[in-house]
């Protein structure tokens, strides 16, 4: 049966109404999907609303708290124990993924394990990171994850498979999320980033029914997590430019100013907020959470992560893939995104200064040549060829779409000055990104992250080979502007701004 909306009227519930009103101004409303979330509750002390939300959404069956083995506190108390106590009247039981000190990876095997553990639940409440949230989204949906990525179709504009009407299936297990840090925007979209055959993939999943953002919980998170949230949001100054470029070359007609505006409007305030995050300022933390919430909703209605996930996210994904293959700890996603955003901002700056739009008509590499390159790049850490096969599956789709979009590229040559101006309006200077990260106390270089410089350079040079999403790395590469010398020049430019290796 369909869940009813809980009788809660906290101020932050207006977020959903405001987002819907802003999206109503879209010039292409037919491309947008309805928001499938029903409630967002944010405030300084709102954890006590959780029992009411469970009553509103739960079906017959046990209430399960899904979490990992890490310890969490709120006002000096054990957060997970307090949540279980709140849900004691519902006979709550706990499902813990992983073991103390061990990293939980969001992969298909972990999702399958969680799905079995959650069988028969009448409601699931996840407590933890974006990884736990994504595992919960994938494990509670009615249709099992099959490894088909939401990126599929981005090159021709089609939406991913999944809940196409923006609502959860009546067979989905009701799913509530307790956000424990402001580190990623995974808490308010209907996609899950999972590891598939060694490659990071964004898979269609389902919307959470409700989200609780208790600012006391978020404030109690380790500083590095909320600093990572600042890093994640620096992608608003690079990611949208990638999607606009893809739209103009005919590979993603989904660019929508109303969607991008949900998180890009007034985004320059992030610098001021970043310094507040370093001071653990409550108002700054509330703004950061709200902006992260809106960016997640934007991705959900767009049906893809492209509006805010460009080359900087792909670089972060490659760092994770390499770490997992070598058994090394993965870094905080948002922190990696922030460091990568400095490099991508430097690449945009470098390319726009020198780019001749006639290069848009350069002949694309033959498929056998491109495939051999991918085999070599990903064979670096996966001799089995599994990861290369997975990456070629999507990159080959992008390469063929690029060839087919020749007429659009021909038209873009004359329109390039105007398009360039629009792209530049979405970008920030590398030094500005560095200053924002520093204001928050977040990393600005790959060495700050503890990343091996050889691996970091490999990720920067090859991130566009990961998926079918087109962006600035692809443009530089296909226009003959991404040789080893070009990579080194861009990294040097990022270093001059305070970023880079």
The domain that contains 23 carries what CATH number? 3.40.50.1970
- 195 lies in the same domain as 321: no
In a domain, 211, yes or no: yes
In a domain, 6, yes or no: no
In a domain, 291, yes or no: no
State residue 101's pLDDT score: 85
- C-alpha closest to that of 54 among 132, 139, 123, 127: 123
- 189 lies in the same domain as 241: no
**Chain-centre distance for alpha carbon 2:** 29
CA distance 301 to 237: 20
- 429 lies in the same domain as 407: yes
- 238 lies in the same domain as 327: yes
- 237 lies in the same domain as 121: no
- 113 lies in the same domain as 234: no
Contact in structure between 347 and 314 (CB atoms under 8 Å): no
- 170 lies in the same domain as 238: no
Backbone phi, then psi, for 471, in 5-degree steps?
-160, -165
Secondary-structure percent of the chain, ordered helix, strand, coil, rounded to 5 = 55, 10, 35
- 327 lies in the same domain as 460: yes
In a domain, 263, yes or no: no
- 195 lies in the same domain as 236: no
State residue 163's pLDDT score: 43
The whole-model pTM stands at: 0.92
CA distance 43 to 173: 26
* Domain stop point among 199, 221, 243: 221
In a domain, 261, yes or no: no
Pair type for strands 210-214 and 39-43: parallel
CA distance 430 to 443: 14
3-state secondary structure of 248: helix
Q: Which residues of 457-489 are buried (b: 16+ CB within 10 A; e: fewer)?
A: bbbbbbbbbbbbbbbbbbbbbbbebbeeebbee
CA distance 368 to 229: 40
Contacts of 100 (CB under 8 A, 6+ apart): 69, 70
- 213 lies in the same domain as 250: no
State residue 377's pLDDT score: 97
Contact in structure between 476 and 463 (CB atoms under 8 Å): no
376: tokens are 């070599």
In a domain, 472, yes or no: yes
CA distance 6 to 194: 31
Instruction: Give the tens place of pLDDT for each residue, 165-211.
Output: 455 565 899 999 999 999 999 999 999 999 999 999 999 999 999 99
In a domain, 282, yes or no: no
Q: What is the CA radius of gyration of the chain?
A: 22
State residue 421's pLDDT score: 98
The domain that contains 420 carries what CATH number? 1.20.1090
In a domain, 290, yes or no: no
Low-confidence residues of the chain: pLDDT under 70: 1-13, 146-170
* Domain stop point among 162, 197, 221: 221
CA distance 247 to 240: 11
What's the domain range around 317? 230-254+306-496
* Domain stop point among 164, 198, 221: 221
State residue 455's pLDDT score: 97
- C-alpha closest to that of 258 among 292, 297, 290: 297
If one counts the domains in the chain, the total is 2
- 168 lies in the same domain as 240: no
Q: What is the DSSP track for 105-153?
A: P-BHHHHHHHHHHTTTEEEEEEEE-HHHHHHHHHHHSSSPP-S--TTTT
Q: What is the DSSP letter of 186?
A: G
- C-alpha closest to that of 140 among 168, 107, 101: 168
- 141 lies in the same domain as 242: no
């Amino acid at each position: 049966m369909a869940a009813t909306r809980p009788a809660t009227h906290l101020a932050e519930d207006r977020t959903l109404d405001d987002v819907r009103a802003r999206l109503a101004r879209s010039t292409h409303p037919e491309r947008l999907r309805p928001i499938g979330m029903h409630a967002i509750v944010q405030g300084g002390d709102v954890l006590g609303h959780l029992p009411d939300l469970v009553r509103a959404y739960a079906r017959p069956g046990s209430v399960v708290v899904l979490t990992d083995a890490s310890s969490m506190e709120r006002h000096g108390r054990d957060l997970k124990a307090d949540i279980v106590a709140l849900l004691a009247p519902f006979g709550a039981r706990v499902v813990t993924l992983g073991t103390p000190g061990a990293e939980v990876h969001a992969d298909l095997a972990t999702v399958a394990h969680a799905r079995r553990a959650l069988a028969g639940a009448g409601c699931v409440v996840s407590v933890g990171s974006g990884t736990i949230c994504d595992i919960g989204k994938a494990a509670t949906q009615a249709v099992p994850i099959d490894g088909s990525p939401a990126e599929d179709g981005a090159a021709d504009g089609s939406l991913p498979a999944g809940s196409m009407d923006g609502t959860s299936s009546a067979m989905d297990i009701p799913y509530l999320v307790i956000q424990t840090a402001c580190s990623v925007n995974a808490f308010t979209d209907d996609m899950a980033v999972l590891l598939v055959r060694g490659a990071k993939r964004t898979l269609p999943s389902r919307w959470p029914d409700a989200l609780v953002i208790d600012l006391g919980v978020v404030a109690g998170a380790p500083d590095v997590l909320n600093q990572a949230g600042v890093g994640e949001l620096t992608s608003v100054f690079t990611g949208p430019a990638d999607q606009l470029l893809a739209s103009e070359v005919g590979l993603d007609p989904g660019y929508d100013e109303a969607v991008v505006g949900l998180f890009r409007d007034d985004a320059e305030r992030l610098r001021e907020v970043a310094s507040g995050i370093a001071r653990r300022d409550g108002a700054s933390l509330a703004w950061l959470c709200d902006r992260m919430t809106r960016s997640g909703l934007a991705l959900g209605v767009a049906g893809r992560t492209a509006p805010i996930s460009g080359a900087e996210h792909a670089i972060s994904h490659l760092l994770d893939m390499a770490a997992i293959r070598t058994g090394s700890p993965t870094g905080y996603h948002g922190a990696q995104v922030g460091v990568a955003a400095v490099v991508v901002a430097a690449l945009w700056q470098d390319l726009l200064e020198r780019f001749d739009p006639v290069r848009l008509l350069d002949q694309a590499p033959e498929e056998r040549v491109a495939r051999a390159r991918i085999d070599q790049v990903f064979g670096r850490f996966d001799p089995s060829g599994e990861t290369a096969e997975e990456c070629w599956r999507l990159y080959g789709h992008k390469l063929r779409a690029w060839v087919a979009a020749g007429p659009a590229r021909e038209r873009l040559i004359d329109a390039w000055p105007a398009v360039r101006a629009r792209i530049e309006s979405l970008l920030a200077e590398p030094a500005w990104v560095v200053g924002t990260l520093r204001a928050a106390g977040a990393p600005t270089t790959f060495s700050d992250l503890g990343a091996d410089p050889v691996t970091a350079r490999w990720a920067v040079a090859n991130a566009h080979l990961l998926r079918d999403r087109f962006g600035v790395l692809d443009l530089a590469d296909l226009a003959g502007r991404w040789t080893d010398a070009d990579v080194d020049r861009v990294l040097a430019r990022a270093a001059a701004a305070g970023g880079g290796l």
